[in-house]
Amino acid sequence: MDSSSDRAVEVHPARRDLDDIPFAHPSERVAAEILDYYGVRWEYEPRSFPITFDGAGDPIAYFTPDFYLPDFDLYIELTTMSQKLVTKKNRKVRRLRELNPEINIKVFYQRDFRALLARFGIATESRAHAEGGGFVSGSNVGAYASEDDPE
């Protein structure tokens, strides 16, 4: 079964205006900026995968990875939140892999993403958990409203 997200957006490298995309978290926008900079085609939340089913076999819970990189057939999930949310997200990814072993998905944890940003010389500023956690690039500090990760 496939359920497309209402927020799915395919972005080609030539498109640089990210303001129209309803990113769920500031870290996702930073990732999109990096992908755009390197000319990597991506789609934002293009597909939701059912991961929990009721007794009749109908889906009751879904998992929607943050990005899909069509040229690599790779889904990417960013996890820059508290350990409690990381554990919950790890369970969802594990379940996705159990049900769909053909799906190629990579989880980027906060330490991985920070290392990537540092490698490319992108300054970041940490955000308090009350502000949604994670971090934002120096150029986007203060540009995001407080949001909790719905995953």
Least confidently predicted of 105-109, 128-132, 135-139, 143-147 = 143-147
Percent of the chain with pLDDT over 90: 39
Name the token pair of 60: 């009751």
Query: Domain of 105?
Result: 9-140
pLDDT tens-digit map of 26-69:
888 888 988 888 889 999 999 999 999 999 999 999 999 999 99
pLDDT tens-digit map of 85-117:
788 889 999 999 999 999 999 998 877 777 777
In-domain check, residue 2: no
In-domain check, residue 151: no
In-domain check, residue 145: no
Res. 136: pLDDT tops 80 = no
Res. 82: pLDDT tops 90 = no
Res. 151: pLDDT tops 50 = no
In-domain check, residue 1: no
Give residue 147's pLDDT: 37
In-domain check, residue 81: yes
In-domain check, residue 51: yes
> How many residues would you count in the chain?
151
Beta bridge mates, 74: 69
pTM of the model: 0.70
Q: Which long-range contacts (CB under 8 A, 24 or more apart) does 64-71 make?
A: 64/5, 64/151, 65/96, 65/105, 66/24, 66/28, 66/31, 67/28, 67/31, 67/32, 67/35, 67/42, 67/43, 68/42, 68/43, 69/35, 69/40, 69/41, 69/42, 70/41, 70/42, 70/43, 71/40, 71/41
Mean pLDDT, rounded, for 126-138? 53
In-domain check, residue 115: yes
Beta bridge mates, 79: 109
Give residue 52's pLDDT: 96
Give residue 140's pLDDT: 43
In-domain check, residue 30: yes
Percent of the chain with pLDDT over 70: 66
Structural domain total, the chain:
1
